[in-house]
Amino acid sequence: MIYYEDEKLTVRDMERPDAQVFTDELTAQGWHPEVEGYFSRLKDRAEGKCVCLTAAYEGRPAGYVYVYLRASDGPFMGSGLPVVVDFNVLKKYQNRGIGGRLMDAAEKVAGEYADAVCLGVGLCSEYGTAQRMYAKRGYVPDGSGVWYRGKQCVQYETVCTVDDDLILFLSKKLR
């Protein structure tokens, strides 16, 4: 399915070959992805748990995001709200509006299932661009504070490692 298309950018359903492209490109960026992670998301899609979106810029996969139809962890678990997961635009394609179009499509998909959408964002500087984008798009903290590895942190608790698992949950009303 095509969610957005113009002369340079197409936001479409993720395809199996995208997995290897993203794995190779993210490895070149210094990350350590495993292609099986993408295949797992595609399996979840086949089971009706999520929608997997790819942004293709001039025909090349440039970014992706997943919309799970029901949050299964964190403060939104059991709320029935869809959750945006693993939003990513490859560095060489950033600052071209791709992320905004991907999020537009993700929010449109989420809006088919609920009046709001939620997500978690990392707290380290590597997520700074995403943090700013979410704020500009109207996402607000849910008030549950910081979470680490699926657990809500409590005041004065020591979190030893600042990594991808230290997150803040946000939500946005869609209508």
Residues 16-26: what's their mean pLDDT?
Answer: 98
- Is the pLDDT at 2 greater than 80? The verdict is yes
Q: Which domains does the chain have, with CATH numbers?
A: 2-173 (3.40.630.30)
Give residue-wise pLDDT tens across range 87-132.
999 999 999 999 999 999 999 999 999 999 999 999 999 899 999 9
Q: What confidence tier does 159 reach under pLDDT thresholds 50, 70, 90?
A: confident
Looking only at the bridges linking them, the beta strands covering 116-122 and 83-89 are parallel
Q: What confidence tier does 160 reach under pLDDT thresholds 50, 70, 90?
A: confident
- % of the chain surpassing 90 pLDDT: 94
